[in-house]
Chains A and B, each alone.
Chain A
Amino acid sequence: MKWVKLTSFYALVVVIVVIAVFPFYYAVVTSFKSGTALFRISYWPESLNWANYISVLTSRNFPISIWNSVFVATLTVVFALFLAVTASYALSRVQFRGRALILMTILGVSMFPQIAVLAGVFELIRFLGVFNTPWALIISYTIFTLPFTVWVLTTFMRDLPMEIEEAAIVDGASPWVIITQVFLPLMWPALVTTGLLAFIGAWNEFLFALTFTSSETTRTVPVAIALLSGASEQEVPWGNIMAASVIVTVPLIILVLIFQRKIVAGLTAGGVKG
């Protein structure tokens, strides 16, 4: 009886792992095939053909897309963290009227459907003259990275010990000094996690990236991969698509696995705590 239970439990575990990993595994397998091998279904890797990778990485635009994505995501995160650190100090450590209202507003903004602001942001970006530049994306990504970072950092800062701040107050530290010289050094783990999650969000974003860029040289990676297609339905370059997918996913997976504990904590912060 116990034996049956244990076996079925491990069977379930195996099913979960296989379903979770198989699509990515299959993408990797496919990315190493080319020519007609591509259209023969195989469950196990047969060849190690780098042709697809070489073709993607030497193409005119894909490396530019990678650079665009790195640039946009990095700047978005830096910008959001910069604004969020001071704001979340105010929201977590200072008592003032309207604090709950601001927190609810921020939560509300984080729930906005992106499409609801698409028209307005489109106009704004045209008005600022940044259409089809990375700045259009950096500006528009703030709508989801900023509320998220403020929210997570606020929950984190709320848990920092009160007495350390009070010791700093007695020592004569202003709020700015408390943030920069006392709290920031204690917050690196939280900043890294929050920054990473915001980075992934910006890296994966599609709707704004699709709408606010119009030329191949300004596209980010998701748009580039989505629009990678052949001359006709029959000529979809699946090998190249899979190679490109693997290229942009592997760094993310590595980062996520390195920081997995912190990421889980960051994802659940605020949400489940209350």
Chain B
Amino acid sequence: MTTEATNPPHTAARSGMSELKRQRVRAAMWFLVPMLAALAIVAAWPLARTIWFGFTDTTLNNLYGGEFIGFENYLTWRELSSGAIRWRGILADPSWWNAVWNTVYFAVISVFFETVFGMIVALVLNAEFKGRGLVRAAILIPWAIPTIVSARMWGWMLNDQFGILNDIFLNLGLISQKIAWTASADTAMTAILIVDIWKTTPFMALLILAGLQMVPRDIYEASRIDGVHPVKVFFRITLPLIRPAIMVAVIFRTLDALRIFDLVYVLTPNSAATKTMSVIARENLIDFNKFGYGSAQSTLLFLLITAFVALYIWLGRVNLSGETER
């Protein structure tokens, strides 16, 4: 105890921190180092390498044989003897722009319907009725099923010859002949959307429900006493109050939708109508032995998502960290 006390006062004054605080901050650093190191190894370093590979002509067979080629993977041109200019690279690649379109289209449509349906389910679950627990348990099932499993389950249901969905729709008179949902270019994206919306609406519903349950009940009671129409109550009171919860749910879902891979890969393999950015990037990386080219595409997807997050934070001023100002 005496050694602590005889600490020259000026050192203590300079550090301005008590022994307790110093001990805690030092411990915090040691606690964070392993976690940060792990993230650096599995996230930061691979990301940097991916970006680097995007500037090289590396192949899968020879990971270290690639040479730096600048932006050639992204865009380059060559003048033909005829004088015409040939553009090459990802940005001049129609299949890439097709994938970009597919991804964005998928993200917008799926998130829109998931939000609407999620809202409906959340409103139902927020009402008091017998069997509410059962309904909540039921909607957790799509969420709990692995994506691959749901892809195959739906693949079976959407089967053109023996699929039950065609049978139901025929019986209901909605369609006149059996549809090859996953194989036909016209309907493949619809099939993907159906499965994704089915699988992810529960997640949306739960997040929105959590927001709904934070709205004080007496607000509803007050407006009921005032005789406000329920629809008006929803748009004027409920919706503004749960807007933050919806915003957060939408951003998480959109990020997820932009990187979709497994559902497309399993449900509609090799269909140009559904090929997304993740699918095409992996195809180039692994299947086509164009490691550098695929890396560049991965980098572009990363940039797209980063831009989206930045835009969203900037527009919505969403406080994602949950940290409150002291």
- Interface residues of chain A, those whose CB is within 8 Å of chain B, are 9-10, 12-13, 16-17, 19-21, 23-24, 26-27, 30, 38-39, 41, 43, 83-84, 86-87, 89-91, 94, 96, 100, 102-109, 111-124, 126, 139-140, 142-143, 146-147, 150, 155, 169, 174-176, 200, 203-204, 206-207, 210-211, 221-223, 225-226, 238, 241-242, 245, 248-249, 252-253, 255-257, 260, 263-264, 267-268, 270-274
Q: Is B141's CB under 8 angstroms from A271's CB? A: no
Please provide the chain B residues from 32 to 50 with a CB less than 8 Å away from any CB of chain A in the complex.
32, 34-36, 38-39, 41-43, 45-50
Known contacts A24-B141, A87-B31: does B24 contact A118 (CB below 8 Å)? no
For B, the interface residue count at a CB cutoff of 8 angstroms equals 101
Considering the chains assembled together, what is the distance between the CA atoms of A130 and B144 in angstroms?
30
Instruction: Report chain B residues within 8 Å CB of A169.
Output: 20
Q: Is B42's CB under 8 angstroms from A241's CB? A: no
Instruction: Report chain A residues within 8 Å CB of B203.
Output: 267
Q: Which of A27, A38, A103, A109 has the most CB of B within 10 A?
A: A27
Please provide the chain B residues from 4 to 55 with a CB less than 8 Å away from any CB of chain A in the complex.
20, 23-25, 27-29, 31-32, 34-36, 38-39, 41-43, 45-50, 53
Instruction: Report chain A residues within 8 Å CB of B145.
Output: 24, 249, 252-253
Considering the chains assembled together, what is the distance between the CA atoms of A39 and B146 in angstroms?
25
From B137, B141, B153, B278, A207 is in contact (CB under 8 Å) with B278
Instruction: Report chain B residues within 8 Å CB of A257.
Output: 137, 140
The answer to whether B149 has its CB under 8 Å from any CB of chain A is yes
Smallest CB gap from B301: residue in A: A113
Considering the chains assembled together, what is the distance between the CA atoms of A81 and B277 in angstroms?
32
From A83, A102, A222, A253, B141 is in contact (CB under 8 Å) with A253
Q: Is A87's CB under 8 angstroms from B35's CB? A: yes
Q: Is B138's CB under 8 angstroms from A146's CB? A: no
Considering the chains assembled together, what is the distance between the CA atoms of A10 and B129 in angstroms?
9
Q: Is B278's CB under 8 angstroms from A119's CB? A: no
| Chain B 239-277 interface mask (CB, 8 Å, partner A; 1/0) | 000001100110010010011011001100000000001
Chain B nearest CB, measured from A157 CB (Å): 12
Considering the chains assembled together, what is the distance between the CA atoms of A106 and B43 in angstroms?
10
| Chain B 135-179 interface mask (CB, 8 Å, partner A; 1/0) | 111111111111111111110110101101001000000000000
Considering the chains assembled together, what is the distance between the CA atoms of A238 and B159 in angstroms?
10
Please provide the chain B residues from 270 to 326 with a CB less than 8 Å away from any CB of chain A in the complex.
277-278, 281-282, 285-286, 291, 294-295, 298-299, 301-302, 305, 309, 319-324
Instruction: Report chain B residues within 8 Å CB of A150.
Output: 35
Other A-B contacts than A87-B36, A222-B148, A272-B248, 18 sampled, CB-CB below 8 A, are A12-B124, A16-B124, A16-B139, A23-B154, A24-B142, A91-B32, A94-B25, A111-B255, A115-B277, A115-B301, A119-B291, A120-B53, A175-B23, A245-B149, A248-B146, A252-B145, A264-B206, A274-B244
- Interface residues of chain B, those whose CB is within 8 Å of chain A, are 20, 23-25, 27-29, 31-32, 34-36, 38-39, 41-43, 45-50, 53, 63, 120-121, 124, 127, 129, 131, 134-154, 156-157, 159, 161-162, 164, 167, 198, 202-203, 206-207, 209-211, 214, 244-245, 248-249, 252, 255, 258-259, 261-262, 265-266, 277-278, 281-282, 285-286, 291, 294-295, 298-299, 301-302, 305, 309, 319-324
Q: Is B38's CB under 8 angstroms from A83's CB? A: yes
Q: Is A16's CB under 8 angstroms from B121's CB? A: yes
Instruction: Report chain B residues within 8 Å CB of A204.
Output: 146-148
Considering the chains assembled together, what is the distance between the CA atoms of A24 and B140 in angstroms?
12
Considering the chains assembled together, what is the distance between the CA atoms of A122 and B261 in angstroms?
17
Smallest CB gap from B199: residue in A: A23
Considering the chains assembled together, what is the distance between the CA atoms of A221 and B145 in angstroms?
13
Q: Is B45's CB under 8 angstroms from A120's CB? A: yes
Q: Is A118's CB under 8 angstroms from B141's CB? A: no
Known contacts A13-B129, A104-B321, A271-B249: does B146 contact A222 (CB below 8 Å)? yes
Instruction: Report chain B residues within 8 Å CB of A274.
Output: 244, 248, 319-324
Instruction: Report chain A residues within 8 Å CB of B154.
Output: 23
